[in-house]
Amino acid sequence: MTLLQDSHDGGGLEHCVHCGALAAGPCARCARPVCGDCCVLTEGGASVWAVCTRCARRGGRSLGAGWKAALFWLLLPIVGLALLLAVLGYLFGRTG
């Protein structure tokens, strides 16, 4: 059983989008099927993933940018709420 999903175009097995060879798995960035010759391994993650050569040229082999973006969107609401609480505490926390 393969991890690639069939696109139901009648072709059966998935083929690499770059060279047309039988695909080994999806790219970790764009999720398009790639063969072992048209991908590089990632750096800096908990697991090793394959990134196609097109995505590697555009953004490198590291998935660090994706992790930074995820942390940014996780911390943004927390920091916003902390600032809101600080302002509300300053405005209504005064005894007078």
Same domain as 51, residue 4: yes
Residues 52 and 15 in one domain: yes
C-alpha 4/C-alpha 24 separation (Å) is 8
57 with 68, same domain: the answer is: no
Provide the residue-wise pLDDT of the chain in tens; the chain has 96 residues.
455 555 555 556 889 988 989 998 898 888 899 998 999 888 766 778 888 888 888 876 666 777 788 899 999 999 999 999 999 999 988 654
Please check whether residue 39 is in contact with residue 18, taking contact to mean a CB–CB distance below 8 angstroms. no
CB 28 within 8 A of CB 50: yes
Residues 53 and 70 in one domain: no
Q: Residue 59 and residue 16: Cα distance in Å, rounded?
A: 20
Domain that holds residue 25: 1-61
Residue 40 amino acid letter: V
**Secondary structure of residue 1 in the 3-state scheme:** coil
pTM of the complete model: 0.51
